[in-house]
Structure formats: structure tokens, C-alpha cells
Amino acid sequence: MSAIQLHPAALTKAGFAPFGDVLEVAGADTRIINEGTTKRFHALATLDVADQNGVPGLSVFRATARPAPIKIAMMERHPIGSQAFFPLSDFPWLVVVCAAAIPSPATLQAFLASGNQGIQYAKNVWHHPLLIVEKEQDFLVADRLGNGDNLEEVWFEEGVYSELIIPSGL
Amino acid sequence: MSAIQLHPAALTKAGFAPFGDVLEVAGADTRIINEGTTKRFHALATLDVADQNGVPGLSVFRATARPAPIKIAMMERHPIGSQAFFPLSDFPWLVVVCAAAIPSPATLQAFLASGNQGIQYAKNVWHHPLLIVEKEQDFLVADRLGNGDNLEEVWFEEGVYSELIIPSGL
């Protein structure tokens, strides 16, 4: 059996719109503040984490690279909170999402994000955990903290997966 | 008249505790996730921005250096929302805060943050707008978005200021 190959598209706001927000300064609403010394790229995303038991919080995720070829054999989603990732070092990284109700290798989509682009998954959007190109990369993460069942996972059948192709030249 | 000189102390959780949170992986609660490929440094801070008219949001602030010597002639605070800053490039930066009810040059405190340290000002904590050492530095900012009067400023009298001393060797 051969795996389906998954080729990342460049991450853009339009392409990622069904899944959430792209956090980037390009195209953002800007304001000059602090006596002219700072440019605010305003409201790249609002966090959607407010409920009776949840609060928005900041964490750091330190991701390490998976062995190549990267096999996508599961997906996850967070039913009661959005989750935002922003890279803390300027290396490209990878995003895999799925618009189908139940993910399968045939319905995955991949994006290549630059080291200056973050993303926020909307609630209930199927996505793969962090995927990076460099050996190690830190991300600032804004998500829901608190009690509640905020994780669903789906694992593909034994031996079924997509192979994520990392673009050459990175 | 000579200005009061303000010398930054190294930023530590203990030193900054009266003013808010230090966002750093050192000493954080950690969890291994994503099939062992990611370390989560959990809940470095919770955002305190929830009210009827506000939502938590993410922005990028692009700071530029002020001319040396840096004069601290005003302070600001946000009465209805915490505000978190995390550097997106690994350069040290500077934090000026004040525990007094009404800031003056004699009551300011300064901290030197590393490029891997962020901070969150608690609500109502007097602080100076972004101060950097490099020519330009981006920060991911998590703060309250929405209507409401969330900014107070105090300006010192004409000609009154502190002079912020940038440690040598940076």
C-alpha cells in the first residue's frame, strides 16, 4: 500500500480562512503608538476560549522534528477553545488541517508557514499536532486553560497515513 | 537639574511579582505531549481581560529604539485588562514599572529582560511603553480588545525625568 502524499501550499489568510486565523503583520490594521516609536499590528486574532470554566492563557511549546518522512496518522481538535501558535524563532513550519467531519488521508490539507506567521485554529477544527522543519522550535501558544473536555483525537486505521512532503530548499 | 539614573535589575519572577508575570520556560510546569515530540511549558500566565465588553486578542507590536539616553518622562497603566509581551527575536529588552500610586522618577523600577523572557503587566500596574535595546524588535502582545477606557497616562512635570541606564556589554 502506498501512502497518499500531502504537499503543503503556502499559508495565506484566504487559504486558511476555513480553519481559523493567520497571524501576520502583512495586511493588518496598524496604529502608531508610544510617541511614534511603536507600530501596533492590531487584533491579528481574538481568542475564543471564554466559558465558565476556562480562561485564556499563555504557554510555550518546544517542538522537536519528527523523523522523515513525516507520517500523518492521526488528527485532533479542541471543541471548547481556539488555539493559537506563534513561532519564537524565524524558521518555516508546517500546518495540517482537515475540513471533513471525520479526517482521513484523502481529506487532509497542508500549509507551509513562514517563521513570521502564526495561526489560530478555530474551535473544533481538525489539525495535526505541531510539525516543524528545523530540529527544534519554540512557539508561544495562547489557548484555553481550565477544566473541561477539550481534546478529541482520531487515529487512522493501522498502516493508513499520509506522507507529508517537506518542500525542497527549506 | 540632574536626572535620577535608573539602573535595571535582571528580570526574575520574584522581583517582578508585584507587577505581574514573567513568561519564561525556566521553572515552568512541563508536560510532554504530541507523542513525545513536544514539551509544553504550561500556563506561564493567564490573561485577565474578561469583561462584558472585552475579549482577549493577539497583536504584534513593532518597537523601535528611542534615542540614548532614554528619558522616562511618563508612565501608563491599563485599568481593565492585563497586557502580555513576548519578544519575537532574541534580543534583551527593558521594562520600567512603578509600585507607587502616582509614579515619579524616584519610585520607578527597571528590569532587564532577556530575549527569551516575556512579561505580563497585571491590571492597573504602572509601566512605561516598550523599551528596546536593538534598533527594532517585534513582540507578540496578548491584551484586551474592545470598548472601554483602558488607558491612563501620567506625565511628569516639564523637565522632570529618569534616565534609564542601559547596561554595558549588551
**Residue B82: its pLDDT value, please?**
97
From B116's Cα to the closest Cα of chain A, the distance in A is 9
A1 pLDDT exceeds 70?
Answer: no
* Contacting A residues, span 125-144, partner chain B, CB-CB under 8 Å: 129-130, 138, 140-142
CB distance A57–B44 less than 8 Å? yes
Average pLDDT over residues B8-32: 98
From A139's Cα to the closest Cα of chain B, the distance in A is 10
B153 pLDDT exceeds 70?
Answer: yes
Question: Which residues, in sequence order, are bridge partners of residue A20?
Answer: A121
Average pLDDT over residues B46-70: 93
Average pLDDT over residues A157-166: 95
From B167's Cα to the closest Cα of chain A, the distance in A is 21
Rounded to whole angstroms, the Cα distance separating A9 from A19 reads 14
Closest C-alpha among A18, A89, A37 to residue A60 = A89
**Residue B2: its pLDDT value, please?**
65
φ, ψ (nearest 5 deg) of residue A14: -65, -45
CB-based contacts of A134, cutoff 8 Å, min separation 6: A65, A89, A91
Closest C-alpha among A14, A17, A19 to residue A97 = A19
| Bridge pairing between strands B108-113 and B9-10 | parallel
Indicate the residue type of B63.
A
| CB atoms closer than 10 angstroms to residue A73 | 17
CB distance B34–A62 less than 8 Å? no
Instruction: Find cell 528580570 and name the residue.
Output: B11
B64 near A CB under 8 A: yes
CB distance A118–B40 less than 8 Å? no
**Residue A159: its pLDDT value, please?**
93
CB-CB: which of B38, B57, B118 is closest to A47?
B57
Q: What is the DSSP code (8-state) at residue A148?
A: S
Could you read off the pLDDT of B30-55 as tens digits, one per residue? 999 999 999 999 999 999 997 888 99
A169 pLDDT exceeds 90?
Answer: no
Rounded to whole angstroms, the Cα distance separating B25 from B20 reads 16
* Contacting A residues, span 13-52, partner chain B, CB-CB under 8 Å: 23, 25, 28, 33-35, 37-47, 49-50
B29 pLDDT exceeds 80?
Answer: yes
A73 near B CB under 8 A: no
DSSP line for A7-51: -PEEP-HHHHTTTEEEE-STT-EEEEETTTTEEEEEEEEE----B
Burial A5-34 (b: 16+ CB within 10 A, else e): ebebeebeeeebeebbbbbbeeebeeeebb
User: What is the value of ipTM here, to two decimals?
Assistant: 0.96
From B8's Cα to the closest Cα of chain A, the distance in A is 21
CB distance A33–B86 less than 8 Å? no
CB-CB: which of A38, A39, A59 is closest to B43?
A59
**Residue B1: its pLDDT value, please?**
56
Closest C-alpha among A133, A120, A59, A141 to residue A91 = A133
Could you read off the pLDDT of A28-63 as tens digits, one per residue? 999 999 999 999 999 999 999 978 889 999 999 999
CB distance A37–B64 less than 8 Å? yes
Query: Is A80 in a helix, a strand, or coil?
Result: coil
C-alpha cell belonging to residue B64: 523601535
pTM: 0.96
In chain A, % of residues over pLDDT 90:
93
CB distance B38–A86 less than 8 Å? no
Where does B91-135 show beta strands of DSSP type E? 93-98, 108-113, 118-121, 126-127, 131-132
What chain A holds in terms of domains, given with CATH numbers, is 4-164 (2.60.120.480)
**Residue A28: its pLDDT value, please?**
98
CB distance A86–B28 less than 8 Å? no
CB < 8 Å to A41, chain B: 59-62
Mean pLDDT of the residues in chain B: 96
